[in-house]
């Protein structure tokens, strides 16, 4: 028995004044409406309506029950309207995390557009290179770089994370321009120092490049190592040496001739980029809106 449906038919019978009128209003037969009403009374163990061949009247309990039914059905309608509104106009706080360079260079400009499209969503962004547990830390989504371990998270691929090698015109004027990967051994290279758990960590500073003859491992002579990409970029702009950093960080400097793109025929490693989120049968509209936006903006 559908209790809510039976309650709704009971209210309709009272409002219209008869089973026949209620049946016509609900596009049902009077017999079907009567069956629902009888089933409701049987469930409650008492009469709701005293019926004769000519008229019907609410019992004392029926009057009280009618008021409660109107209240309950109104609350159900409000809840459904709220759910529909949430689906059509996402609202609430969205908590996400992203690695430092991607967040600063790519995500923040994109979030400005996202916030304009969805003014009802408040964003809580945690910028960190640490790999956090989404469920434990209360995140709804995360951007991750590199190969993914097996997990229960859903991964949506984004555009891969590409690197490029650059140096300032001043440095190249003083030290010359490397034309082959082996030339890097005679230059001051600015190396990114990865954490011990990173898949790119190595006891020896090495740049891996791929050319027409396959992969080349280039040991570096590094005068400076740092665990912050922006610090290395500024060091390269200051003429301290050659740097390999994300293309998205250096492309504007190259376009403005502040840096020179080197060894363009050799490709640094390309790192997968994924948007991760928890499996949830009833995904919130705010998370769905963020996933759709990110996949469209950073299409793989």
Q: Mind giving me the DSSP string for 186-204?
A: GS-EEEE---TTSTT--SS
The residues, any chain, with a CB within 8 Å of residue 90's CB and separated by 6 or more, are 118, 120, 121, 284, 285, 286, 288, 289
pLDDT tens digits, residue range 166-223? 999 999 999 999 999 999 989 999 988 765 545 554 545 788 899 888 888 888 877 7
User: In residues, how long is the chain?
Assistant: 300
In the prediction, which pLDDT does 257 show? 96
Could you tell me how far CA 12 lies from the centroid of its own chain?
Answer: 44
Mark 166-186 as b/e (b = at least 16 C-beta within 10 Å): bbbeebbeeeeebeebeebee
What does residue 181 show for φ and ψ, rounded to 5 degrees?
-55, -35
In the prediction, which pLDDT does 239 show? 95
pLDDT tens digits, residue range 96-109? 999 888 898 889 98
The ranges of the chain with pLDDT < 50 are 197, 201, 203
In the prediction, which pLDDT does 281 show? 58
Whether the CB-CB separation of 246 and 230 falls below 8 Å is answered with: no
Which domains does the chain possess? 3-85 (1.10.10.10), 92-161+272-297 (3.40.190.10), 163-269 (3.40.190.290)
- 75 to 33, 64, 255, 296: CA distances (angstroms): 23, 17, 60, 38
């Amino acid at each position: 028995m559908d209790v809510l449906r039976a309650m709704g038919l009971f209210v309709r019978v009272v409002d219209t004044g008869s089973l026949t009128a209620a049946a016509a209003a609900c596009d049902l037969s009077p017999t079907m409406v009567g069956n629902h009403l009888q089933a409701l009374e049987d469930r409650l163990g008492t009469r709701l309506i005293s019926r004769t061949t000519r008229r019907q009247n609410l019992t004392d309990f029926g009057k009280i029950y009618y008021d409660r039914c109107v209240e309950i059905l109104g609350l159900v309608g409000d809840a459904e309207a709220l759910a529909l509104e949430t689906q059509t106009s996402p609202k609430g706080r969205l908590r996400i995390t992203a690695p430092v360079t991607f967040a600063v260079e790519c995500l923040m400009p994109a979030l400005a557009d996202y916030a304009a499209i969805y003014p009802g969503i408040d964003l809580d962004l945690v910028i960190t290179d640490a790999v956090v547990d989404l469920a434990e830390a209360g995140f709804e989504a995360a951007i991750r770089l590199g190969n993914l371990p097996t997990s229960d998270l859903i991964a949506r691929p984004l555009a891969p994370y590409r690197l490029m090698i650059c140096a300032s015109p001043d440095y190249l004027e003083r030290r010359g321009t490397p034309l082959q990967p082996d030339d890097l051994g005679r230059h001051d290279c600015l190396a990114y120092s990865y954490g011990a758990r990173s898949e790119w960590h190595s006891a020896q500073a090495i740049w891996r490049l791929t050319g027409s003859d396959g992969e080349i491992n280039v040991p570096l002579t590094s005068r400076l190592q740092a665990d912050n990409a922006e610090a290395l970029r500024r060091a390269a702009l200051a003429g301290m040496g050659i740097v390999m950093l994300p293309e998205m960080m250096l492309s504007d400097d190259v376009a403005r001739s502040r840096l020179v793109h080197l060894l363009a025929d050799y490709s640094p490693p390309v790192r997968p980029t994924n948007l991760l989120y928890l499996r949830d049968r009833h995904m919130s509209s705010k998370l769905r809106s963020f996933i759709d936006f990110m996949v469209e903006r950073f299409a793989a």
